[in-house]
Structure 1
């Protein structure tokens, strides 16, 4: 098995209009900017507010990207849902659209489910999509899903579907878990969820990262990925860490959207779907002050 995908992928933030409907044109613009900066598109990720979007909205958003000529070979849509038919429908649509793969949450409402149950879920999706072009990346984010994807399950899925189950995003925040996976599954495409782990993870075979803050510093992360074997790597790691550490002090989605609104000079970006709420005024002023202090900016958003 070889790495099918590599590099930096952004769980693309989703803009909403005042009536809370997705702003399709602004979504396409931001996705295009990310690709110009060298990032792939992990649309419908956690920081995309994916679980606040309907199946129909996700299909519409993906189709709009394709209509505008964005390359599906650098797209990794999140397709996991609690309802099996929704997961199958979105996964099938992504495969038929030529997407490089899909990033699939486990069904996350029922807790303490068995590995047998999770295996049956993933196997059923694979069998119903029934396409040799499907490339499935597992999404391990137990703090949000409450449903961990354990190592024996990963091993079992690789054994039964070696050409389909090809990778994982590890959002556990547990370095020991990430390190064990990198050593236990050589050739499996493994993405840490933070650029702050890259200097440790890349020498062990990590494929890159799928990171919330790739929405706002894609090029800087890309430079680190390109130069991690060089003497400049430590400085590049420190640069991306400084930005990440600022954003981690705030509710991540609201902070990403406010920063994008500020640097794009477009307040539409500051809208989140309930139950999320925007940053309050004090948080906004503090965030901007911290970003100014480290010389942060986002170029090209107003073009």
Structure 2
């Protein structure tokens, strides 16, 4: 495995939309800078970015503008996976040429019950089309959304065939037994495991994982990054429990609209609440209840302006 400049915690950065429904690049740039200042890396075009509601052309434009705006590509892991090999290769090539430290790649998610042979062929074709030794792929395992799970056998084939390219995984299966099995089989070979839920962060670090890429890093970056850096400290379990409390109070609300509502509240910018169809923003009642729940745990974001 190649070395990496990626931090242990990345945020699947939520995408701000302007009144015309386009990504507000200036606002996104500011958010990325705030996340970086809180020791968190940048995973644009992930699930929480509403990536599958954003065209490849728009993604390419936004990526270019973020790089021009001095978002450090060495801390970036853009989502590049799509259902077609060509679209995935196009987006992936752009990320590699921009100097991004890695890419987060979904499997082709439209067809269900596909075989390991089919999945291997997909990733293999993308790698061959990109044809760049700098490419670092982090496989995105999120079966609750894709209905596709990446077997240990598939991972073995990919790592064996492309040991310098298949760098790791974001696992959002929610199945700790699977996460643990991947870590036991591949962590010693340099395979970097990012868990997709900060609830598993301490457990993952203790089992040899690399970190997490979690929606909550959009609103609680500093504490999550601190735990990832101090997981061996004597108070690590309490740090994890404190972080868990925030997710527990937000679980009743839909994830993406809620992340945006929290940022809108603490930045005093209601435009942050916009989402793209088919998602819908929180209702007035939901926003009020969310604010009550956050108040109960005295949560705030003091430096978000």
TM-score by length of 2: 0.97
Change (3 A) 1:102 1:140: same
Give the match for residue 172 of structure 2. 171
Which structure 2 residues correspond to residues 4-83 of structure 1 after superposition, within 5 A? 4=4, 5-83=6-84
Q: Is the 8 A contact 2:2 2:164 kept in 1?
A: no
Query: 1:3 & 1:288 partners in 2: Cα distance?
Result: 42
Give the match for residue 230 of structure 2. 227
Q: Is the 8 A contact 1:2 1:189 kept in 2?
A: no
Q: Is the 8 A contact 1:2 1:188 kept in 2?
A: no
Higher deviation after alignment, 152-161 or 140-149: 140-149
Match of 2:196 among 193, 196, 213: 193
Match of 1:281 among 281, 284, 287: 284
Once the two structures are TM-superposed, the CA of residue 223 in structure 1 deviates from its matched residue by 1.1
Report Cα offsets for 1:26-55 as digits up to 9, x if no partner: 111111111111100011000000000000
Query: 2:68 & 2:155 partners in 1: Cα distance?
Result: 35
Once the two structures are TM-superposed, the CA of residue 204 in structure 1 deviates from its matched residue by 0.9
Aligned length: 302
Query: 2:228 & 2:107 partners in 1: Cα distance?
Result: 29
Structure 1 runs, 4 residues or longer, greater than 2 Å off: 1-6
TM-score by length of 1: 0.97
Query: 2:62 & 2:245 partners in 1: Cα distance?
Result: 32
Q: Is the 8 A contact 1:42 1:77 kept in 2?
A: yes
Give the match for residue 90 of structure 2. 89
Report Cα offsets for 1:235-265 as digits up to 9, x if no partner: 2111111112122221000000001001011
Query: 2:195 & 2:74 partners in 1: Cα distance?
Result: 20
Q: Is the 8 A contact 1:42 1:76 kept in 2?
A: yes
Give the match for residue 248 of structure 1. 251
Once the two structures are TM-superposed, the CA of residue 170 in structure 1 deviates from its matched residue by 0.4
Query: 1:271 & 1:284 partners in 2: Cα distance?
Result: 13
Query: 1:296 & 1:201 partners in 2: Cα distance?
Result: 25
Give the match for residue 206 of structure 1. 209
Once the two structures are TM-superposed, the CA of residue 2 in structure 1 deviates from its matched residue by 6.5
When the two chains are superposed, the root-mean-square deviation of aligned CA atoms in Å is 1.0
Give the match for residue 261 of structure 2. 258
Report Cα offsets for 1:172-196 as digits up to 9, x if no partner: 0001000111111122100111111
Asked if 1:292 is matched to 2:295, the reply is yes
The DSSP-based 3-state class of the residue aligned with 1:9 is strand
Q: Which runs of 5+ in 2 are unaligned?
A: none
Which structure 2 residues correspond to residues 124-163 of structure 1 after superposition, within 5 A? 124-163=125-164
Q: Is the 8 A contact 2:136 2:167 kept in 1?
A: yes
